[in-house]
Amino acid sequence: MDIESIAKPVTKWSVTVREPAQVPRAFQQAFHLMRSGRPGPVLIDLPFDVQMAEIEFDIDTYEPLPVYKPAATRKQVEKALDMLLAAEKPLIVAGGGIINADASELLVEFAETIGVPVIPTLMGWGSIPDDHPLMAGMVGLQTSHRYGNATMLASDFVLGIGNRWANRHTGSTEVYCKGRKFVHVDIEPTQIGRVFMPDLGIVSDAKAALELFVQVAKERKAAGTLRDYGDWRFRCTERKRLMHRKSHYTETPIKPMRVYEEMNAAFPRDTIYVSTIGLSQIAAAQFLNVHGPRQWINCGQAGPLGWTIPAALGVVAADPTRTVVGISGDYDFQFLIEELAVGAQFRLPYVQVLVNNSYLGLIRQSQRGFEMDYCVQLAFDNQNVDDESLKGYGVDHRAVVQGLGCKSLRVTDPEKIGGALAQAQAMARQYSVPVVVEVILEKVTNIAMGTEIDKVNEFESIDCRHPEGTKGLELAGLLD
């Protein structure tokens, strides 16, 4: 099998080492490439004869190759800032590259210096705290806030730093780009212009660029040449205050929005959330609060069902002092449920929230546009479950979890979610194993999403906090 060729499309470098003497240089090059530019995987294929060979290698004189990180120039940053200051309603889009570069504090400092709101992407979520006055919400077709999309549509300039313009964020470029100019800063040269041509592209590590942006912005502030964006900031803040989705549902079976409302109240500010894919991920991004970098661990646009449990265990192993919470739908949970035994074996305590509707909810909801509703549920009548209200939900997750050496709780009443989450945290500390909180949801809930950022379908109730409703938002100019 030619594993080198198979892996090439999904790695930064793939090589089969056929001569033992080439092994040290292959590893030297691999570590150089995987850390240079945008980080990514490499694959080294070592045939058995190469593995078993002996070579001469002087570890005392070995030096790793320096990591390559392109840096913006002052001239580039000054031009970008000139373009931003020429705009009436500018925004900063903060991507995951800022978190990778450990540049979140610089981002906040830059935004505060120039007084411009920030839109984090799904991978950049946490680069500015959710409750920061300049955090203007997330934008996108699914993982977005109502106020975030409205603010993006009202803007006339966007400075993107460390982001990819992924299609879940942009929708069509015709809608996303209409009426606004763009500057794009990214460490990967081939990413500039890949989705659309920006008005200015800068190849740079996010931290290197932001250090210069902060320096130049402070110089201009001292010289009194920065614009006052007070009115624009006020409008962005008003959207954030008034344009929400309803989360406080009291129905039984439980609506998923209520689960995330209770999670915000139950877990501490520095909680690390881990999520993968599906309606559970989308709703989590719409309703949860994230207050710092690396507090939202997510697989991005990939769809690796089952990723949540092993990823959460990895986070706990990396920092056992933090509160770690996994979020899964029932199919993601079932995909690698056996990994919970690893948590029991190695004493890795965390809280796993399982929102169970015994349905492949995102697949079913995606069929709606095609007038389809094929059998995609995971439900069956479990003859070993005595509770008639739960019998039709299929797998008895509590029994499986306990069989894997972990602890579990089940919630069917929305008023008891908060208590169960508090109890789960106490149990995780007491028993030092994963604790699963299974919340039984209604079978079918449609989560807000759409085909364009100006055409998101709010299937469930919105929470418009303007006293005159949507009409009031229009009259106040917040939907312009």
Residue-level pLDDT at 364: 83
Count of CB atoms within 10 A of residue 21's CB? 12
Predicted confidence (pLDDT) at residue 467 exceeds the cutoff of 90: no
Q: pLDDT tens digit string along 196-225?
A: 999 999 999 999 999 999 999 999 999 999
Residue-level pLDDT at 84: 98
Are both 74-244 and 247-440 of the same fold?
yes
Name the fold adopted by 247-440: Rossmann fold (3.40.50)
Q: Which CATH number fits domain 74-244: 3.30.300.30, 3.40.50.1220, 1.10.1740.10, 2.60.200.20?
A: 3.40.50.1220
CB 122 within 8 A of CB 138: yes
Query: For the chain, which residues make up each domain, given as ranges?
Result: 3-52, 74-244, 247-440
Q: Is the pTM of this model over 0.85?
A: yes
Predicted confidence (pLDDT) at residue 301 exceeds the cutoff of 70: no
Relative to beta strand 272-275, strand 296-298 is parallel
Q: pLDDT tens digit string along 248-280?
A: 999 999 999 999 999 999 999 999 999 998 999
Q: What angle do CA 261, 263, 269 make, to 5 degrees?
A: 110
The number of angstroms, rounded, from the C-alpha of 268 to the middle of its chain's C-alpha atoms is: 19
Q: pLDDT tens digit string along 107-138?
A: 999 999 999 999 999 999 999 999 999 999 99
Residues whose CB falls within 8 Å of the CB of residue 173, separated by 6 or more in sequence, listed in order:
165, 195, 196
DSSP E strand stretches across 70-171:
90-94, 118-120, 157-161
What is the residue-averaged pLDDT of the chain? 94
Predicted confidence (pLDDT) at residue 193 exceeds the cutoff of 80: yes
N- to C-terminal Cα distance for the chain? 58
Q: pLDDT tens digit string along 75-95?
A: 999 999 999 999 999 999 999
Residue 403 in tokens:
């069989």
